[in-house]
Structure 1
Amino acid sequence: MRAVRRSALLLLAALSGLTSCGIPTTGVVQAGVPASGVAPTVRVYFVADGGLFPVRRRITSVVGVEAAVELLLQGPTLPERFKGITTRLPQPAAVAPADGTPAPGGPSELMEVTAHRSGVTIELSALVGRPDRLGAAQIICTALDAQRITDPGTEPLPVTVTGPDHRRVEGTGKECGVG
C-alpha cells in the first residue's frame, strides 16, 4: 500500500509540474520585425575587365528601381576599386556643374525614374551626361534586378535610359549575363 501511495504522490507531483510553471500567461507581444537571417540584397552592375560585373548590395530602404540605381550611382567601394571594379557612371560627389554651383545633394537629383505599363524609363540629368553603351547597361541591368526583387515571378519590364540629349538606350536583360 505504501508503494501505491508513494507512486500516486510522485505521479501527482509530476503532473502538477507539467500543468503549471508558475509564469502567468500573456498575449502576443509585438517586438519588431521577425528575424529572417538573411539581409535583403540587390545586384548593382559595375565594370570589370571590360564587361559588366554584378555586386550584391544590402538594401536599407524599400526596394525599387530608383533605390537600386541610387546604390549604383554611389559607385564601387574602396575595396572593390582595389580589385579592379569600376563604373562608367559618375558618382554624385564627383559631379559638379560647370558654372561653379555646388554639386547636387544626392543621386536622386541626377535622374528621374518613371514606371509605366510598357516599361521603366530612367531619364538622366545633364550633370550625368550621356552614358556610353556599357554605362547604360549598368543602369539597365541594375533596374531589371530591382524589378525581379519587387515583383518576383513576373518578367521584368524593359528599361529605357534616356540621356540629356534625348538619345535612348533600351534593354531587356540580355546584356546582363546573370539570370
Structure 2
Amino acid sequence: DDASHPLSAGLPFDFEGMPREKVTLIEKGVFKDMVLDRRLAQDLNKTSTGHSLPQPNSYGPLPLNLIIEPGDQSMEDMIASTDHGLFVNRFHYTNLLDPMTLNLTGMTRDGLFLIQHGKITQPVRNFRFTESLVKAFNELEAIGDRSTYIRSFFGGGFVVPGLKINRFHFSSKTDF
C-alpha cells in the first residue's frame, strides 16, 4: 500500500489525520506487514501506519492504495502464449464476500474477449465471477510490464499491471 506512488492518487493522511506510510503487505508471495489505524496500533503496542477509515468504522484499518509491481511480460506476449482463455478489460462491482478467505465477487466490464491460439478472436458477453484472491494469485502465470491506475469506488485505487491467471472461476453470465 503506497499513497505516494507516482501513479496513485492517494491522500498523504488518513481519516484520523495520521500520515500514511508505505506498507509492504506481501512480497514474493510472503506476508510482510499489515496496515494499522490508531486503535489497532494501540492494541498491538505499535504505531499507526495511517490507514484508518471514516468513523464510525467497524472494519478496522484498510489499505486504499494497493500497488502490484510490474513484471516482465508484455500484454501482447501474454495473449500470444494463451491457447484458450479470456481477455478481461476490467472488473466492475467487485465486492468482498468473505474477509477470511478473501473470496470476491464481481463482473467483467468494458470488454471481454475470447482468446484462441494466441489471438483475440471475438467479443464475449460479460460474466460474473466468484473467486478467492488467494487462489487467483496462486494461479498467477504472468505479470504485465506496464501498470495503470484504477480508481476504486470506495476511495483510493490500485496501481496494477495486466495479470495472466490460470483457472479463474467465472460463475455465470450477466444481463448486460
Q: What TM-score do the two structures reach when normalised by structure 2?
A: 0.25
**Structure label with greater radius of gyration:** 1
Q: What TM-score do the two structures reach when normalised by structure 1?
A: 0.25
Name the structure with the higher strand share: 2
